[in-house]
Structure formats: C-alpha cells, structure tokens
A and B are shown apart, each in its own frame.
With several copies, the nearest count.
Chain A
Amino acid sequence: MSVEAKRLTRDLMAARLAAEFEDGWVVNLGVGMPTRCSDFVPEDRTIIFHSENGVIGYGRNATVEEATPYVVNGGAQPVLLTPFASIVHHSDAFAIIRRGLLDVAVLGAYEAAANGDFANWRISGRKGGGIGGAMDLAVGARQVFLLLEHTTRDGRPRLLERCALPLTAAGVVTLVMTDLGLFEPAGDSFRLREIAPGFTVDDVQQLTGAPVVPAADLSEVTV
C-alpha cells in the first residue's frame, strides 16, 4: 500500500454508486451513507427517489435554509421535492416496494457476503436491533446495492465469505461499494470491478474476508 493511498470519502462512494443509476429508475436509499446518493445524480438522468415514509420523487438533501419540517427522506433528513413528487402513507410506500417497482435499494450494512447475503440490523452481542425497512427492501427491490466501509473501526473485514451476524436477507446483493472499491458478490468470492486509487488488489485482499478476484477490465474508481 503506497503511503499516499487514501480510502474513498463517503461522498465519493455515494457519487460512484449514484452513477450506476439509470435514467428513470426508482431508487430507495437507506439510512446513513446511502441517503447521500440523491446529491450525486448525474445531470443527464432523472431518478425517482422513493422513501419508506411515502415520499415518491424527492431530490437532493436540503440546505439548512431550504429545510422544512414537512419533507424528509427515509433517514428523516430534510430533502427537496421534485415537480413530479407524490405522497402516500407508510403502508402504500411498502406496497410499492413489495410490488417490485423499485429498480434498486441502496442499503448500509455491517457485513456483506460473497454469496449475496447481508446483515445490517443487529450489532454483535446486542439484544434487539434496527430492521427498519431493510428486510422489505431486500426482498422487494429488483437489485440491492450495499454502501459500507470496507473494515470495522478496529480493522476487521466487513466483506466475508459468509455473514456472522443475523441476516437481513439471503442472496440478494448485486453490488457492493466500499471505501476500497466496487465489488460484485460472485458466490465464493468478490469480483473487484473498480479499485480505490493508490491501492493494489493485494492491499484489498488483505482487508477482505473472502477471495477477491479482480475483473479483467479492472479500473480505478472514478466518478
């Protein structure tokens, strides 16, 4: 690992994942890092952001001046409405999810597994947890993208062969963005599509709990 190598910032991770959204997609952003994605939609695309509280068609996060107590995203943060926005109640918001209308749900996670499982609702050793909308989103959305830091605070890998924590859903993850790169769960390994500038595949492998297989067209993460 070269001395100047720096992990990707949260904004860079969010922006890179937002670049995956295709024009016209319906997208749900989970609490935490994922909610940043609505700030980074490429200008040539219209994304319909859906949130669990029933806002269909919000846009970027509001500034302190723009914020109102009436419009928030799934992370309860103030956002702006688009002109095509509509509002439904909580039950109908999840009807939309289960009906299969979401092109992608972007979720945070504690652990992502090579087999597409993920865990994001209970911290190790704790009783209870926070499921929120994640289990509905994980089974309802056509794709699940994860956005998480590659390692825990004490340096242990979050990308694993199999999850150790209780699952949120099994076999649903299609793309994983970390501060070290962009990955696809490939069964027993993670396929590394893009890598953070300054890091080598070997650097990434050492911080990952499952085999990392670089893609033939591996490139650096750029936005």
Chain B
Amino acid sequence: MESKVVASFEEAVAGVEDGSSILVAGFGEPGSPHNLVAALYEQGATELTLIANGAGMTRDDGVITTGNLVEEKRVRRVVLAFTASTHPSRRTPLEELNEAGEIEAQITPQGTLAERIRAGGAGIPAFFTPAGVGTEVAEGKEHREFGGRTYVLEEAIVADYALIRCWKADTFGNLVFRRSQRNFNPIMAMAADCTLVEAEEVVEVGELDPDLIHTPGIFVQRVVSIPEAGGILQAPPLAMFSGRPRS
C-alpha cells in the first residue's frame, strides 16, 4: 500500500481550492496544526469557510494563525464557538470584519459544534440537542419535546479539508494524540473529504498499538512529519498561566 506521507507542508496543502471549507482543529495550543495553517496561508486559497473553535486571534510572535487568514479577507464565512472576544478591551480582526458586514460569522455552542462535526463524520445529517434552547442561537430553528424536555434541531457539518495535528502517525495515516491534543482532532478528521495531518513523529505501520490508535488511517489522506519537514514543533505559549504566581 502506498504511504500517505508527503515531504512538506506545501505539498500537503497543494490543491486546496478557492471556496473550500476547512476544519481547523486545536483547543488552545495543544493539537493546533500551526504548520498546516501557515502553509495554507502561503498557498493563497481564498473565499474559504473556516470551521473551528475560534479564529479570532492573531499573534505577534511570528506564528501564523487562522486569524491572519481572516485579517487578509481570505475567509468569507466562519462557524465558531467564539466569534468575538469575551474581554471588552480586546478586539479581533474577525470582530471588525463581522461588524463591517464583510464576513459571515455563525456562532454555535461548542458542544453543538463538536456534535455537528461528529455527526458529519458519522453520516448523521441532523440531531436534536438541548444546548441553546431559549437563547438567540436557537431562534428560527426547529424545536421539539422528547420526554418532556425541549430540544433544538442542529445539522451536521462536513468539509472539504481538515487540518490536524497529532503526536504520532504511521505511514497508513493511523493517528495517536497525546493528552489534550486530542480535542477536536479525531472528529474533524472524520468529517472532512481530505484530511491533512502534521505529526510530531511518523512511524512505520505496525509500530502503533491498534487499541491506542485514536483515528483510523482510512480517515486520513496526507501526513507530514513536522521534524522532517522542518516545521514548528511547539509554538511559544501565549499567556496561558492563570496569573497566580506559583512556585
């Protein structure tokens, strides 16, 4: 069987068309595919739809984020759990474009977002969930009672591409995530037609315990080894500590 490993991040994102929909995994730093996002930024595709937890932030330490894609107006639509800062003093490029009506921003509760993606990856077109009932996000959606409780109908999300970061991958595309790295990665890998992976280490088939593999290789199309492709292994942490001095 042919190996799914490609030599560079450029090669991994080659062919991403203008107008593509793209799932970008990660929650905070862990599991964020910084190298694939940077390669997509260089690649030039535009008119994108981004589906992620958030896509607001840009960084000043040289690390490219989806915020840069938004800032340069390469994104026409986002589906996120965070479309604006929760701090009054901060504003993101996304928020400014959204207020100017230059981007379509759909906000969705994070659990609903995760379940919509999981449903997309599972061939389930729609499901009922209790989250958001009685709030703005449920307005205009179908409501129904089950067992005396009210739920809202939400539709699945599928996408053309998923950008994934993992700990170990084999050449067949079987993936293992380490700790909090897992987050959205396995469900996004399921929901995309073409799943692109940056791996901290690539091993031969047979080296990963089948019981430990979090994402079967049949969901994966291309794999890049971060060290071999010369990528960023760990981005510098942002302000991640709670502020209490600890020692």
Contacts and interface: CB of A to CB of B under 8 A. Distances in A.
Interface of A: 11, 23-24, 26, 31-32, 35-36, 39, 46, 48, 50-57, 61-64, 67-72, 75-78, 81, 83-101, 120-123, 126-137, 139-140, 166-170
Given A61-B241, A89-B185, A130-B83, A84 B1 contact: yes
A166 B2 CA distance: 42
A67 B190 CA distance: 30
B111 A121 contact: no
Interface in B58-87: 81-86
A170 B30 contact: no
B81 A132 contact: yes
Contacts of B95: 126-128
A139 B219 contact: no
Interface of B: 1-2, 27-30, 54, 81-86, 88, 94-95, 98-99, 105, 107-112, 114-115, 117-118, 121-124, 129-137, 170, 172, 174, 177-187, 190, 205-206, 208, 210-211, 213-219, 234, 237, 240-242, 244, 246-247
Contact of A23 (B1, B82, B177, B241): B1
A54 B110 CA distance: 12
The 3 closest A-B pairs by CB, nearest first: A98-B123, A76-B28, A136-B111
A67 B124 contact: no
> Dominant SS at the B interface?
loop
A87 B182 contact: yes
A75 B238 CA distance: 12
A167 B134 contact: yes
Q: Which of B83, B210, B211, B234 has the most CB of A within 10 A?
A: B210
30 contacts: A23-B1, A24-B1, A39-B244, A54-B182, A56-B218, A63-B246, A67-B237, A70-B180, A72-B27, A75-B242, A76-B29, A84-B170, A84-B174, A84-B217, A87-B180, A89-B182, A90-B114, A91-B117, A98-B131, A123-B88, A126-B95, A127-B84, A130-B86, A131-B110, A133-B81, A134-B109, A135-B111, A135-B112, A167-B136, A169-B134
Nearest to A51: B180
A88 B30 CA distance: 14
A140 B84 contact: no
Contacts of A93: 114
A100 B82 CA distance: 24
Max chain B Cβ within 10 angstroms of own Cβ: one of A48, A69, A72? A69
Contacts of A123: 84, 86, 88
B187 to A, nearest CB: 5
A77 B61 CA distance: 19
B179 A130 contact: no
A135 B172 CA distance: 29
B226 to A, nearest CB: 13
Contacts of B170: 84
A132 to B, nearest CB: 5
A129 B216 contact: no
A21 to B, nearest CB: 13
A86 B217 CA distance: 8
Given A98-B122, A127-B95, A130-B86, A139 B133 contact: yes
B83 to A, nearest CB: 3
A78 B240 contact: yes
B115 A94 contact: yes
Contacts of B88: 123
A121 B86 contact: yes
Contacts of A63: 246-247
B35 to A, nearest CB: 15
B111 A133 contact: yes
Contacts of A67: 237, 240-241
Contacts of B81: 130-133
Contacts of B206: 83-84
Contacts of A136: 109-112, 131
A94 B182 contact: no
B191 to A, nearest CB: 8
Contacts of B99: 126-127
